[in-house]
Homo-oligomer: A and B are copies of this chain.
């Protein structure tokens, strides 16, 4: 078990069949036409930052690595594929192809931007180079794993930034999209900067700290709130955060304080109270005052109730003295933006003579049109180590050329020079073998938090786009028929 992936520990089997039917029919077409091993390059990128955030936090690579390491068609998979028929009722795939699939091993080169990195639209988060069939067939699994994780890590970063210095607890399990939706989101939310999760399975697999309070049902099972707090305190004197709104919030706070005093006589303390409904701003102020007056100045106030970064910001602006935020539904699903529209596009393919041909998907909108060629992203820093610019450039050029053109406004700027830089895409697999040291989850989280700080400092001045060569190349492709 690694700390950064769970597919192989959670799931019973290999996942080559995490694919759309058309990947298999295309694979069959490539194989029938002798194109299966044609060297090709695919790039995975997204077109718009989620939630209107200035960047996204690239996340999911750990899962993608695990998936690729496990890539293999099982005997059951092959039987299933053999059972599929075409429009004429005849088998879709012939036996030679099924035998080929059963022997298929993943042999591509993979480059990727490390998890936890702040990234921008049109930058390849993953670049896959290898035999056409293999590079194509992994599309949906990679998109599934990267899209969702990147979405949730970015959402988490927004939530964490809304309450600097406070604790953010991810409470989303019950509203997540499937059991694995919850597990994947807990991992991504932690990378984005959350401090803990309520999800025990995520705690077990990823060693993410787990936190929680108790449910209304605890109080309801006693019928008497004070007795219920006493029952909790006698069982777990070292874990008392009381939910105070089951019947009446003010009475709940009074009861919590009463049991808090009793806790102190046994050498423990009231860790916190939790507000889960009503006017959280007003109630937290009342609660703070009541707690302080009773000498519980260190008792935390935890709030929950359909929170997201906007409602948290609003409460912070009101001066709500809340220290800990439990964020569920909006964080675990992305809320009103429930998907990152990442795509995986063929960028280049070798011709019969072994020369690379660039390919694009055309669109009436130049911004939406894919960028031709095989790309690297170079990030420039100023002397203080603050990011200045990201340039997408054609890998064959070795170096970015002259100017940076911002795609969203067409503005050209000189490339920073001389300036320290790093190339963001690093080797992950070489001919199907892992050549990357997968970081521990806490390291990924630290990188993400560090990146958020860097890009807070970079602010308005940071620019990203294509170098002059790639921009001109794209224009030429757009005009070609």
Contact = CB atoms under 8 A, between A and B. Distances in A.
A11 B278 CA distance: 40
B185 A177 contact: yes
A355 to B, nearest CB: 12
A364 B278 CA distance: 8
* Copies assembled: 2
A140 B172 CA distance: 9
Given A86-B238, A362-B246, A20 B329 contact: no
A296 B278 CA distance: 62
Given A20-B199, A201-B17, A28 B236 contact: yes
A438 B132 CA distance: 43
A128 to B, nearest CB: 12
6 contacts: A20-B174, A30-B221, A40-B221, A80-B203, A147-B174, A333-B333
B345 A29 contact: no
A282 interface: no
Contact of A239 (B92, B139, B221, B342): B92
A295 interface: no
Contacts of A173: 18-20, 140, 143-144
A214 interface: yes
B271 A21 contact: no
Contacts of A95: none
A18 B361 CA distance: 43
Contacts of A301: none
A384 interface: no
A307 interface: no
Interface in A157-180: 171, 173-180
A265 interface: no
B179 A35 contact: no
Nearest to A334: B338
Contacts of A24: 200
B22 A215 contact: yes
A415 to B, nearest CB: 30
A422 interface: no
Contact of A38 (B80, B177, B221): B221
B21 A198 contact: yes
Given A204-B76, A214-B26, A235 B179 contact: no
Give the interface centre of A15, A30, A141, A359 by most chain B CB atoms within 10 Å: A359
Interface string A28-46: 1111110100101010000
A211 interface: yes
A174 B132 contact: no
Interface in A206-261: 210-218, 220-221, 223, 231-232, 234-236, 238-239, 246-248
Contact of A18 (B23, B84, B179): B179
Interchain residue pairs A-B with the least CB separation, the first 9: A86-B238, A180-B180, A22-B212, A21-B212, A32-B235, A177-B177, A333-B338, A143-B174, A338-B338
Given A231-B33, A236-B86, A200 B19 contact: yes
Contact of A29 (B9, B28, B42, B236): B236
A338 B341 contact: no
A33 B360 contact: no
A383 to B, nearest CB: 42
A353 to B, nearest CB: 14
A338 B10 CA distance: 24
Contact of A28 (B31, B211, B235, B336): B235
B180 A268 contact: no
Contact of A144 (B17, B80, B87, B174): B174
A339 B329 contact: yes
Contacts of A105: none
A236 B94 CA distance: 10
A335 interface: yes
A6 to B, nearest CB: 10
A103 interface: no
A339 B175 contact: yes
Contact of A140 (B31, B174, B213, B269): B174
Interface string A424-453: 000000000000000000000000000000
A230 to B, nearest CB: 9
A182 interface: yes
A190 interface: no
Given A7-B179, A139-B215, A140-B174, A235 B18 contact: no
Nearest to A97: B235
